[in-house]
Each structure stands twice: as structure tokens, then as C-alpha cells.
Structure 1
């Protein structure tokens, strides 16, 4: 079925290889997966699914950036790359600190955080310049340069977003079940809240340190 999406644009065998490679990359634990996991446990299934949708929209934004060449600008400009990295890392640290300080998480089933998980997830994904560079390096490997390159890149990015949404939505549904087990255990819930916050802070620091020393 997926091969019918672009029969004249992407060779079916190459498309199949791309889907396997993309699936392997998506299944690798990273900031996106951990963010959806923490929001699902903290605010429930709906928040987790909204976060998954936000991450997928971020993938589409990075695809668009790769198509129009914006990612190449970040690769060529150390200042632009550093600026976006600092903003992205700072945002993750902010989310982590807010999670730690939010005593309401995991304690009220019908009282989710007032912050928009969709909007936050979009920002978490977009403000990671390493994701932009990944798409710039990854997608062209599966493009037939004899065809219409921008269209092929768009299709590959859209497929990546669809697979991402499916995987992260599954993570959201599965991890939200853990949240229900914590309602009767406030102390354990508090520990999970701190752990979730520290994970986000750690991801922000890793993004910053990795960009500086790599």
C-alpha cells in the first residue's frame, strides 16, 4: 500500500529500505520518546497522544526545512546552530523544572496540566537543531536525483511523520496505564514526577553539551 504513494517518484525497493531504516531510527529512545512518556505518565493518555501529534508536526516542519534548504543554513552557520541549540536546551530544562514543581501531576486523574502538550511537543522537536541536521543527512540517501527531489523529500518526510505518530501514540497509550497505578501511591507518584523532570533537564543538558563538544 505504501508503495502506491509515489510509484513514479520513489523506487519501491528503495522505499522499503527507507521504511526499515526510518523505523529503526524512530524506535531508538530519544528526547521525543521520553517527552511523550513523561507527559503520558504525568497528564494521561490524551496528553500523551497530543504530544505524539506535536512531535509528528515537528517532523513535518523539519522536512519542510530540509526541502527549502534551511537546515543547510544551520549547518553552515555555527552562530545560528548555537543559538537554536541554546534555546532548545533551555526549553527542555524549563519543562523539567516545571514538572518537578508541579505537585498536581499524577494526583488528579481529571486535572491535567494547563500547558498544551501539543504545542510543547512541537517546540521540543523544532528547537532541536540536531533533528534538522539528521533530516538533512538522512532523507537525501533515499532520493532518486533523476526525479523531482523536493517532492520525494516531502513524501519521505511525511512517511516518517506517520510512522512516528503511530509509534509514539502506542507509547502514550501504554505508559498512561502506569499513571493509573500511581493514583493510590502519592509518594511513588512524587518520585516519578521528580524522575520525569530530571530526565527532561538531563535531555536539555545533553543537547547543550553534545552540541558544544561534538
Structure 2
């Protein structure tokens, strides 16, 4: 499987697994309708650019100063992904999305962007996730390549989250009726994280 195909598969699995962002998109869709759900999806996706920028410039600077440090970061990132994967496998899933009070659409967008930007766990995730798909020898500009990956991640997030927003009512009902379904999605994401981590650890 090519780097891009593997990156897309991992990104979709990560995006689909229940978490604060996609559950908030579902909550907006349930409480305010499809338009609000889609606007929230766009807001959370837009926040990805912020984390991509931090990761891209930081990793590029690290590679310029010390290729060995970049390699160590990738190994540490692999271990981190395996740890996150194990936690996801142990998760019990999320049974429902909590509704939030109605807000103007511009407020929904702003709250989604800011909520994503202020989440340090997302920044940490991007710092260890994106470098797994960067070849410092053949990628040319590492920062440019990471921005390309970040943009691709953002685009698939828009698609997946928008589908969540459009189908919020049905998804919310499904999660309530089948609380264990979220756990199975977490297991899918967990297996993806562990596979990525092992891929890094075993690659020469």
C-alpha cells in the first residue's frame, strides 16, 4: 500500500472513531439541524491547519538541526501511537452525544475552530503522526510535505464530519441504541494506531 493510501486509511479510521470533536458535530446536528452540524465540521477541520503548522515548522527545524533527533522522534512517536492504540482498544466506547444550546452558525464555527486549536492533545498527535509518513530523503521540503499531509487530513475530516453532521439524528439514535458500537469503532482506531507504531518500529 502506498504512503498516501495508508495515510488516508489511518486518517479516516482516526476521524471516525468516537471522540470529543465528532461527538460535538453530532450534538450540533441533533440540536440545531444539519446546517449547524456541517458548520461545526468545517470549524473542527479548519483547526487542523493550526496543528499542522506547528508540527510542520517544528519538525522541519528539528530535521535541519539534527537528523538523529528526527529519527528518535519518529521512534518515540511510534511508541506513542502504540500506547494510544492500546488505550483505544480498552475503551468502552461513547454511548451518546450531549446536546448543546443553539448558537448562531458563525458562533458554532468559531467555537469549533477555537476548541480544536486549544486542544494540546491534537497538537501532540500531529507532531507524532505526520512524521511517520515523511521520508526526509525523498520528500524534498519536509515542511511542505507535512502541509500536504495536513491538508489531506483536513479534507477527509471535512467529508467524514460533514456526513456526521448531515446524519446526526440517525447516528445519535444508533449510538444510544447500540452503546457498544462506539467501542468497536475505538477498536478499529486502536488497531490502526498500533499498526502504525509497529510500522515505524520495524522499519529500517
* Contact in 1 for aligned 2:30/2:99 (Cα 8 Å): no
Residue 69 of structure 1: how far off its partner (Å) = 1.9
Q: Which has the larger radius of gyration?
A: 1
1:181-196 alignment runs, 5 A limit: none
> What is the rounded CA distance, in whole Å, between the counterparts of 1:155 and 1:144 in structure 2?
13
2:118 to 118, 123, 127: 127
CA RMSD after TM alignment: 2.9
What are the superposed Cα offsets for residues 111-139 of structure 1, whole Å, 9 maximum, x if unpaired? x5236111011011111100000000000
* Contact in 2 for aligned 1:60/1:158 (Cα 8 Å): yes
* Contact in 2 for aligned 1:40/1:176 (Cα 8 Å): yes
Show the counterpart of 1:170: 163
Secondary structure in structure 1 of the residue aligned to 2:104 = coil
1:28 to 17, 21, 44: 17
Do structure 1's residue 136 and structure 2's residue 123 form an aligned pair?
no
Show the counterpart of 2:136: 145
Do structure 1's residue 114 and structure 2's residue 107 form an aligned pair?
no
Show the counterpart of 2:51: 62
Summarize the Cα distance change of 1:98–1:17 in structure 2 as closer, same or farther, 3 Å threshold.
closer
Higher relative contact order (CA 8 A, sep 6+): 2
> What is the rounded CA distance, in whole Å, between the counterparts of 2:11 and 2:103 in structure 1?
32
Q: TM-score, normalised by structure 2?
A: 0.60
> What is the rounded CA distance, in whole Å, between the counterparts of 2:153 and 2:31 in structure 1?
26
Q: Which portions of structure 1, spanning 4 or more consecutive aligned residues, are displaced by more than 4 angstroms?
A: 176-179
* Contact in 2 for aligned 1:40/1:47 (Cα 8 Å): yes
Residue 144 of structure 1: how far off its partner (Å) = 1.2
Summarize the Cα distance change of 1:177–1:29 in structure 2 as closer, same or farther, 3 Å threshold.
closer
1:12-23 alignment runs, 5 A limit: 13-23=2-12
> What is the rounded CA distance, in whole Å, between the counterparts of 2:53 and 2:10 in structure 1?
20
Q: Which runs of 5+ in 1 are unaligned?
A: 1-11, 73-95, 103-111, 182-191, 193-214
Secondary structure in structure 2 of the residue aligned to 1:69 = helix
Count the aligned residue pairs: 135
Secondary structure in structure 1 of the residue aligned to 2:56 = helix
* Contact in 1 for aligned 2:27/2:99 (Cα 8 Å): no
> What is the rounded CA distance, in whole Å, between the counterparts of 2:156 and 2:171 in structure 1?
24
